[in-house]
Amino acid sequence: MADVSEVGSAAPLAVPIEGHSIDFIPLGERHGNPRSLFFIWWSSNMQMTTVLTGVIAAALGLSFPWALVAIMIGLLVGGVIFCLHSWQGPRLGIPQILQSRAQFGFVGAIVPAAVAIFMYVGFFATSNLLGGQGFTSAVPGIPLSLGIVVCGVATAVLAIFGYDQIHRWARLWGYLFLVVFLALTVSLFVRGLIPTKVWAFGPLAGGPFLLMISISAVWIISYAVYASDYSRYLPQDASASRAFWYSYGGGVIASAWLLAFGALLGVILPKAISSTVGVTLTLVGPLAVPMAIVVALGVIFTDTLNVYGASLCLLAATEQRRRLLGIGRPTRVVVISVISLIAVLIGIVGSSHFLTNYSNFLSFLFYLIIPWSAVNLVDFYLIQRGHYQPRWFFEASGPYAGVKWFALGAYLIAIGCEVPFMSTTIFTGPVARMLNGGDLSWIVGLGVAALLYYLACRLGFVRRSSDAVLEAGSA
């Protein structure tokens, strides 16, 4: 169990359920150390969904060395974008998506909140299926649907306990996942399954290579929409550099390891493309049962982040001076339960054609997340320089009132500019076709959104929040 000095507790241990939801965390209740962020992002990536994402490289036809290069480029660049959001938590003391009210407006922020909810539920449903497969591998007699339900219930319970318990279990499970995946990796090598030719680069397929860079980048960037959710209780003066590097180390190292593991597994054992969990567990022979249970635990932890984040987003989207759902503990518990039920049902119904659906889901998510992240980061680091008035995030008639059309416009225009560069099995844009399926949409979306929003701010079309706060204070 983690040291209380690191993760702290906003409530007595006898009442472990978190009391806060989307409200501002008072400075007197701040606690913890940026070190805890390493375990959050390490444990969230040390699970089978990461392996499955790596297997996509083999499905695209990439050799292992080229897949590894693509994975590292995507993670190293995408990790910077993701980790720049980490310090926003201690600085502002509110959830990540709620911060969008400063850029998109009190009402306009519903748009990125809805995108985030879609992302959370989608990841929950797809990851939960892998957890269910882990349980059926451990206990072959139980149906897959029951395994999915077990994972879903466990996920909801941990999410209801909330922030401090999530941090404690991240540390505990982080060590467990290290041992398990180290054993799986070593087994892959010592069993003589890797032919020498695997290490040959071979000809480079440019399109699939660019697409794998994009997939790896979206894997790590997708965590940006809840980065602050797990750092918002840290002291306001927490080191920005330490928050960045602990998040970067945990997320990028774990992702690089298991994405590469999945890519190698898919190349040498093609059956892994259609049955990732089953093929992985064959590597450990008689230890397959306990390994399957740990695989399920890994999915439970990651899905806890998804349902916890989804609950905060839904509360942020419906909270209008607390006239709708409210934001207290009972409401948070109900919202988590309902979201978990919906995600479990989606996972059960949509279990067929899983790999194709999952790849399309990642691609679609990528197009929507990048422009939001660009607008949010430009506003925080270049325009406002971290200076916001927390109470305005909860005032429907304050400086963040209504819809900030220039931010929303920059966001939507950037998505539109991504279309020619999109590459999915459903739709491939003209530029992507010219690149043999290569996907550069993330670079376009990031650049267009950041540039348009920055210019709008510099030209005076977007008002500095700090100036509005000063004017309100002198009125």
Give the model confidence (pLDDT) of 307-360 as tens digits. 999 999 988 888 755 554 556 778 888 899 999 998 888 878 766 565 456 656
The whole-number average pLDDT for the span 382-396 is 89
Lowest pLDDT segment from 25-39, 79-93, 350-364: 350-364
Q: Give the whole-angstrom CA distance, residue 198 versus residue 450.
A: 40
Which of 327, 122, 330, 339 shows the shortest CA–CA distance to 225?
122
Taking the alpha carbons at both ends of the chain, their separation in whole angstroms is 51
Cβ neighbours of residue 361 under 8 Å, at least 6 residues apart? 122, 126
- pLDDT, averaged across the chain: 85
| Structural Rg of the chain based on CA atoms | 22
Largest CA distance in the chain: 75
Q: What is the pLDDT of residue 221?
A: 92
Sign of CA dihedral 134, 138, 140, 142: negative
**Predicted confidence (pLDDT) per residue in 218-267, tens digit:** 899 989 999 999 999 999 999 999 999 999 999 999 999 999 999 998 88
- Buried b / exposed e along 35-49 (16+ C-beta atoms within 10 A): bbbbbbbbbbbbbbb
Joined tokens for residue 466: 């700090």
What percent of the chain lies above the pLDDT cut of 70? 87
Q: What is the pLDDT of residue 41?
A: 97
In the predicted structure, residue 465 carries a pLDDT above the cut 80: no
The 3-state DSSP class for residue 385 equals coil
Q: What is the pLDDT of residue 474?
A: 42
Distance of CA 318 to the CA centre of its chain: 22
In the predicted structure, residue 1 carries a pLDDT above the cut 70: no
Q: What is the reported pTM?
A: 0.87
Higher pLDDT, 338 or 396: 338
Q: Give the whole-angstrom CA distance, residue 176 versus residue 297.
A: 10
In the predicted structure, residue 14 carries a pLDDT above the cut 60: no
Q: Give the whole-angstrom CA distance, residue 448 versus residue 442.
A: 10
Joined tokens for residue 274: 């259609």
In the predicted structure, residue 81 carries a pLDDT above the cut 70: yes
Q: What is the pLDDT of residue 359?
A: 56
**Predicted confidence (pLDDT) per residue in 154-207, tens digit:** 999 999 999 999 999 999 999 999 998 998 888 888 888 888 898 999 899 899
Please, are residues 96 and 85 in contact by the beta-carbon 8 Å criterion? yes
Q: Give the whole-angstrom CA distance, residue 248 versus residue 313.
A: 24
Q: What is the pLDDT of residue 323?
A: 53
Q: Give the whole-angstrom CA distance, residue 257 versus residue 469.
A: 46
Domains belonging to the chain, first-starting first, are 4-359 (1.10.4160.10)
Helical residues (DSSP H) of 22-63, grouped into ranges: 35-45, 48-59
In the predicted structure, residue 120 carries a pLDDT above the cut 60: yes
Q: Give the whole-angstrom CA distance, residue 235 versus residue 230.
A: 12
Joined tokens for residue 372: 């939001």
93 φ/ψ angles, rounded to the nearest 5 degrees: 70, 25
DSSP-assigned states of every residue in 292-354: HHHHHHHHHHHHHHHHHHHHHHHHHHH-STTSSS--SHHHHHHHHHHHHHHHHHHHHHT-TTH
Cβ neighbours of residue 266 under 8 Å, at least 6 residues apart? 54, 55, 56, 57, 58, 59, 272, 273
Cβ neighbours of residue 200 under 8 Å, at least 6 residues apart? 63, 65
Which of 78, 103, 79, 99 shows the shortest CA–CA distance to 89?
99
Please compute, for residue 241, the number of CA atoms within 13 A of its CA located in the half-sphere on the CB side: 0
pLDDT band at 273 (very low <50, low <70, confident <90, very high): low
